[in-house]
Structure 1
Amino acid sequence: MHAVGGWRLDGVAPPVLGGAQADLVLLRAATADGSVWLAVDVDGLAVRPHESADPTRPTAEITARGLHVPAARELALDTALVHDLAAVLLAADACGTAARAVETAAEHARTREQFGRPIGQFQGVKHLCADMLVRLEQARALTWDAARARDDEARSLTAALAAATALDTAYTCAKDCIQILGGTGFTWEHHAHLLLRRAVVARQLLGSGDRHRLAALRHAADGVRRGLRLDLPPEADAYRREAREAVAPAAGLDPAAARRVLAPTGYAAPHLPEPYGLGAGPLQQLAVQRELDEAGIGVSGLGIATWVVPSLLAHGTAAQQDEHLGPTLRGERLWCQLFSEPGAGSDLASLRTRAERTEDGRWRINGQKVWTSAAQWAHYGILLARTDPAAPKHKGLTYFLVDMRNTPGIDIRPLKEITGESLFNEVWFDDAILPADAVVGEVDDGWRVARNTLGNERVHMADQVAFDTGLEALIERAGQQDASVRVRIGGLLAEAHALACIGLRTTLLQVSGLEPGAGASVRKLVQTLHQQKLAELTLELLGPEGAVREGPGERAVHGLLMSRCLTIAGGTTQVQLNVVAERLLGLPRD
């Protein structure tokens, strides 16, 4: 309460980190008309150290009994800022806790042997370690952005998102670390329990992730948004001037027409080498993208051709490049990928489609491909077929170009999907004859061609906000929902913003000439599961309206059904977890 020349302070503060070691304590005290922040010397306070649940981070109870605090010790602090700073600092600390848990678990999984092999070779352990890293990368990205947002109007939103994810990540990763360590992790001598204790204390002092997810949703519902914009350095100005003039003819065109206009100039694919692109490095690519965005120019995607073009550039003959690259980059030639088979989905080493050389040097193809998207509309396909049956695993495969419309012996049979649509197909080859020049690269070396990526990879970072249309709709309806649903929406906000932040961090690393890091590898895992959860909640909130095939229910059911392919296409989630564990954490291959 007010006193002559200052304040009279009475009361007990909750557990204060480092309170017994401090000389000066910042305390918030309730007043008749609100609250006040006071800087108080500990000499006038009663300080009782606790036996903290985390022995590495002691806490103390601080009590004031009629203490006079001079008016000069009153601080004009923004309470929200203090809370945000605490959230971000503890989130950063939690990222360190989680990182140590991941390192400890992975090291144990690499070296501990059971049943004659390292436990990290068992898929259950491998996937758990990989999932720990996926959670950590999201927490790191959110905390990084929250630290950058100190002076941004979205400061409180980013702080809440960081705390929501990082505090729970430290807690769950510490628990999972103990699980992987087994009995060793349950001993006092091992440091794993200190990680769990540290994570527990942080959550108890700042609140669990759900509390912060609800706070983030409140900010979002109030209209707060965090836009991510990459500030280009001055050296990008020249690239932007050139791009501004070059892309001007595409202004006002639809994306397909814009591609046709820009492809001959190289500006439809600036990352490609000349004459198909500009041979642009990361900075020039971003400068071009910035000018396209500011001019409102969208360029249609290439679909499967995104992977075809690099392989043709690296391994194709001059004749193959001349025939295919121009029409493909103009969007006039559609492609499909003829890799998967009934017995070889993710495991392409099991391919059985045969390619046999004929007496005149051509190739006879026999076999079946499946899950081939857009085969019924494609002009050409890329085919992996076995040319040496005696060769092991990925050896003995050859990469072919297939004219899908003019090659006798090809039977395309659309497959009806769970949505009722037919986007993918099974494709039968029955003595289909391909010309000798259909081979890309060397015979029996098709796996290397298929896996090819150019050293000058595409870099893309459009200015963006993290929340897409579907998530915005959930935010708009959040006020009508109970707390459990609001928590789920808050979790989706955190995932969406983490994805945007991971994208920005990856781009910054590429522009700096550095490796993209773990974030780029885990992004697909986060993205696909996020889209599935978004589709599920969207349908769930419709109630009985979501049981009928009309109006919003039709769209929501279709979205839910369609989302199931996301964790299958392009490599299943389980295979991707293996890749993350083996390549990023160094766990042994199966």
Structure 2
Amino acid sequence: MGIGLTEEHQALADSVRGFAGRSSGHAALAGQGLLGLHLPEEAGGQGYGLLESCVALEALGEQRVTGAYLPTVVVSAALAWAGAGGHGEGRDLLRGLADGSSTAAVVPAAGPAAGSGLLALGPATADLFLVPVGGGAWAVLDRAGVVAEPVDGVDLDRELCSVTVRAAPTGRTVDGPIPSALTANDRATGRSMPADRMAAGWVLDGVPVREIAAVLLGADACGVAAWAVTTAAEHAKVREQFGRPIGQFQGVKHRVAAALVALEQARAAVWDAARAMDDARTMKCAARSDTNRDDASRADAGRDGGVHALAAEVRLAVGVAAVLGPDAAVRCTADTIQVLGGIGYTFEHDAHRYYRRALSGRMLAGDPGPWAEEVAGLAVPGTRRRMEPDLPEEAAAVRDTIRAQARSLRAASPAERRDRLAREGWIMPYLPRPCVFVPDDHVVGEVDAGWRVARDTLSHERVALGDSWGPGSQHTDMAELITRSPPLRQSQRERAGRLWAEGQAISALGLRATLHKLSAADHDRAGSSRRVPGGDPGTASSVRKLLGMRHAQAISEFCWSLAPADRHWNRMILTTRAFTIGGGTTEVQLNIIAERALGLPRDP
């Protein structure tokens, strides 16, 4: 499906993918407006958000585009978050990053050391460097403010450098330029430095740089994983062993299908994190532009949108993406090398380059372990990510009616409730009310197309199973148990955070499926002939069913290990073993995914 769900996002991804296949230099990307998708128009951007940048970055990662575009986008996004586009000098910096005349490098927070300095993504000859300066603050410095040396890394396509800060500016924010001791010449290249680049010292106090970088690196990781899954599937269709394509062998088929499942889970997590960050950025901009507040309040608004003030729900969404996104790229590329066999291990094939890029991206995004601990630290005390579609205002009355009826059903006895669920049509509320005579316009499906109707009905069942089958064995149940358990060890906190991340991503997959169906329905009502992207709904439901059932088993095993004397978890650890059997076994679901989504041949 890709990170983007809408027709516009799909068109953007197709356009970027096609363009990158023809020309992908830094200047060319800037010429297409891709470096400034997330920037305001007055700062040389396109006026969109991080989500649109993620759609583009996924496509560029899939094409393995080289260059400094990713760190450049991270730095410009951080400057924009700090409000640099609202006044002259900051706006000029953003314009330079958007039009390609400036490049940037970024040091991830708590990043690994590189010699005597810190490891940064980007070239040593970059014009701007985004570095942590302590106390949660970051600084954007020009080349005179740092010592930068090239570093040989595992990634052959993106430059890394070691960065040491000469003298970090302190006490000044992005509201004003930071004086810096500049020389007339660039020590790295010996060339003269343009005057408009000789005052590029800014302190970004409270800007969520680490979170911005994690989301954008996650989008690149999804692109890398997408290439890997497609490459493995295409190879498995044509490579023959023992007289038939290797894609018919379940060992290969299931490996590739499992890689697609990991990719879709990562996409859902990155998509959700990007839209959460965009919502937070929108709220911050609205607060900053409130002209009814006094100057002191407006000054505070310039600093109140950083990581410490970033809503816990947003930090939770980003943490989930950081746990799942980079890992998916590493897993998918490693599996692709395995499917390719000997050719995948050669230097001539691109597989090793994608694997290298995946490893480098995971390192730069940060160890998934601490991210998982952060997820657990947010989720266990009660932070929750809202997973509901934004429906039009006229839906409010319908929601109120349904909620009243749901309260009535809850108050009924179990036998009465079961009878009413069937009699009142709650099993499939999207179908017309039953009647004795069924008019032609109410017939579900066409004559002789019953199997298609049955398949669609089964896909709806699997969607429901993905979230609701096995009550009492979900990630929210795990959080409740942890609140009344002794303090967890570090390994247990990491495990709990990863399990929460997986559960939240499953919920995000459900929301994406719902939004896709709503978009398809809108197209049908509008009489549009263009297909809404998203693929076979049965495939998406199989992905969610597979993830949901395995997740319930993992939750039960973990919770039982925390409370082996608890009667509930003693029961659930056995009950959940049936979840990967009923409604289609794990092997059946993997076959469905491999054959319908990836086109792998059936075993005759």
- The TM tier, using the shorter chain, reads 0.5 to 0.7
Could you tell me whether the CA contact under 8 Å between 2:475 and 2:500 is conserved in 1? no
Aligned to 1:324: none
Q: Deviations over 1:198-246 (max 9, x none)?
A: 1111122233322321221122234322121222123535755876898
- Counterpart of 1:58 in structure 2 is 159
Residues 240 and 212 of structure 1, relative CA distance in 2, 3 Å threshold: closer
Q: State the partner residue of 1:563.
A: 576
Contact 2:337-2:345 at 8 Å conserved across structures: yes
Matches within 5 A, 1:298-309: none
Contact 2:154–2:360 under 8 Å retained in 1: yes
Distance 1:566 1:58, change over 3 A: same
The 8 Å contact of residues 257 and 593 in structure 2, kept in 1 or not, is answered as yes
Q: Deviations over 1:534-589 (max 9, x none)?
A: 1111222234x3xxxxxx2x332221111111111122111211111111111010
Task: Tell me how far apart the structure 2 counterparts of residues 227 and 68 of structure 1 sit (CA, whole Å).
Answer: 39
**How far did 1:86 drift?**
1.2
Residue in structure 2 matched with residue 579 of structure 1 by the alignment: 592
Give 1:189-588 correspondences, 5 Å limit: 189-236=348-395, 239=398, 252-254=411-413, 257=416, 269-275=428-434, 448=451, 451=454, 453=456, 468-476=475-483, 480-513=487-520, 514=532, 517=537, 518-543=539-564, 545=565, 552=566, 554-588=567-601
CA offsets 1:250-296 (integer angstroms, 9 cap, x no match): 6854565456567666566432233359x9xxxxxxxxxxxxxxxxx
Residue 315 of structure 2 is aligned with which of 150, 153, 156? 156
State the partner residue of 1:166. 325
Hey, what does 1:145 align to over in structure 2? 272
Q: 1:251 to 1:496 in 2, by over 3 A?
A: closer
Q: Structure 1 residues 239, 154: CA separation in 2 closer, same or farther (over 3 Å shift)?
A: closer
Distance 2:452 2:150 in 1: 65
8 Å contact from structure 1 (residues 269, 276) kept in 2: no
AA at the equivalent of 1:121: Q
Indicate the residue corresponding to 2:227 in structure 1: 100
The two structures have a TM-score, normalised by structure 1, of 0.61
More helix, by proportion? 2
Q: Are 2:251 and 1:124 equivalent residues in the alignment?
A: yes
Q: Does 1:589 align with 2:595?
A: no
- SS of 1:227 mapped into structure 2: coil
**What secondary structure sits across from 1:577 in the alignment?**
helix
**Residues in 2 aligned to 1:179 and 1:87: alpha-carbon distance in whole angstroms:** 28
Distance 1:256 1:77, change over 3 A: farther
Q: CA RMSD of the aligned region, Å?
A: 3.8
Q: Please tell me the residue identity of whatever aligns with 2:369.
A: D
Q: Any stretches of 5+ residues in structure 1 without a counterpart?
A: 1-10, 280-309, 316-440, 546-551
Over the matched positions of the two proteins, sequence identity in percent amounts to 40
C-alpha contact (below 8 Å) 2:155/2:357 kept by paired residues: yes
Change (3 A) 1:506 1:586: same
Q: 1:78-117 to 2 correspondence within 5 Å? A: 78=206, 81-117=208-244
Q: Distance in 2 between matches of 1:12 and 1:54?
A: 21
Does the Cα contact within 8 Å between 1:314 and 1:454 map onto a contact in 2? no
In structure 1, C-alpha distance between the alignment counterparts of 2:151 and 2:460, rounded to whole Å: 55
Secondary structure class of the residue paired with 1:567: coil
What residue identity is the alignment partner of 2:146?
Answer: L
Residue 475 of structure 1 and its aligned partner are, at CA, apart by 3.5
Greater per-residue strand proportion: 1
Q: Distance in 1 between matches of 2:456 and 2:319?
A: 38
Match of 2:55 in 1: none
Letter in structure 1 aligned against 2:497:
G
Deviation readout 1:152-202 (Å, 9 max, x if unpaired) = 531111111111111111111111110111110111111100111011111
Structure-2 separation of matches of 1:521 and 1:246 = 30
Higher Cα Rg, which structure: 1
- CA distance in 2: counterparts of 1:571 and 1:468, whole angstroms: 22
For the residues of structure 1 that align with 2:205 and 2:228, how far apart are their CA atoms? 36
C-alpha contact (below 8 Å) 1:24/1:40 kept by paired residues: yes
SS of match in other structure, 1:512: helix
Greater CA deviation, 65-74 or 467-476?
Answer: 65-74
Aligned to 1:429: none
Q: Distance in 1 between matches of 2:169 and 2:313?
A: 37
Runs of 5+ unmatched residues, structure 2: 1-114, 179-201, 281-310, 521-531
CA distance in 2, matches of 1:146, 1:448: 38
